[in-house]
Amino acid sequence: MQRLSSRTRRRLAGERGATAVLLSLLLVPVLGFTAVAVDIGALYAERAKLQVAADAAALAVAADCARGACGDMQATAQGMVDANLGDATAAPPVLASNPNRVTVSGRTPREHWFAPVIGHDATEVSATATVAWGGPSGGTAVLPLTFSWCEFEQQTGGGLPSGTIQRTIYLTKSSTTIRDCTGPSDNVVPGGFGYLVSDPGDCRASSARDERSTSSTGNTPPSECSAADFASWVGRTVLLPIFDEFGGTGSHAWYRVYGYAAFRLTGYHLGGHFSTTPRPCGGSERCVTGYFTRFVDLGEAFDYDSGAPQMGAWVLRLVR
């Protein structure tokens, strides 16, 4: 076995010493890169969670304000932030108008795992969310029905609905609310009964303010609709187009959409197998029962416009 010379042993020892020095010199930048890779990733994750909390807070405050009672906005915002991210702080919400909107900002400190080695103990993470709202300006109603502004005015007294009084709304052929709501022939348009032409293959009707929607002829809902379609919405709030002008006859009849009302459906009798039990009206009458109410829509089915007439429905949207 060949022995290492003293010179070789000294050379190897020197190399080991140089390696140790080199590793010690590289340790700081290696830890720095680790801080960048791990701590910066953690910052992005924390900010994503804070953004969700800010979105939820802004939506909650906007929903209260849209209903006409902003209440303690700071408490509402902080409560939603706490529910989503417990160690964050919400700044006082900022309200604005034309269009109506509210902005909520949140912040939270994020302690680092590795960055303290290079002198950075924590970083403040922040996120901001803005929600705007207005009356529905157009979209897809889940039921192809429409009522006249005259009918809505008579049922609600011309003001915003309270949602506490159940109403029976008769479709135009059998409406007895007031004769002026149906016209001299007891119908708004000859051959029209308050149904709208459905979207192709679906029991829904798309429409928009100040535009005409085509009347569906017949004394029962359009053929695209089934009894199950109507039954699925009992006990739920729907947005229904309200018309203020009309014209034409038969399949060429039309209704001009004035705006959209929120209506919580509790029952209906629309002929054939389109009836709830018990029937809210009988014989040849066609009617729905429910409540004109106040409703905040968070879905994507409707657009909003700050200038749309207000009949109890508000559409909220996150603004990025």
In tens, the pLDDT along 216-271 reads 988 889 999 999 999 999 999 999 999 988 888 888 889 999 999 999 999 999 98
Cα angle: 131, vertex 300, 243; to 5 degrees: 100
Point out which residues pair with 102 in neighbouring strands: 95, 131
pTM over 0.95? The answer is no
Q: Tokens for 269? A: 């009798």
Number of CB atoms found within 10 A of residue 148's CB: 25
Please give the Cα distance from 241 to 318 (Å, whole number): 24
What whole-number distance in Å separates Cα of residue 204 and Cα of residue 238?
Answer: 11
Please give the DSSP secondary-structure letter assigned to residue 77: H
* SS3 state at 240: strand
In angstroms, the CA 113 to CA 123 distance is 11
Fill in the amino acid letter for 35: A
Query: 250 or 160: whose pLDDT is higher?
Result: 250
pLDDT mean over 22-43 = 63
Contact call for residues 130 and 47 (beta carbons, < 8 A): no
- pLDDT tens digits, residue range 285-301? 888 999 999 899 988 99
Name the DSSP letter for residue 37: I
Instruction: Give CA–CA dist 171/144, Å, rounded.
Output: 12
- The whole-angstrom distance between residue 141's C-alpha and the CA centroid of its chain comes to 15
pLDDT, one tens digit per residue, over 181-210 is: 654 444 566 667 789 999 999 999 999 999
SS3 150: helix
Instruction: Note the pLDDT of residue 307.
Output: 87
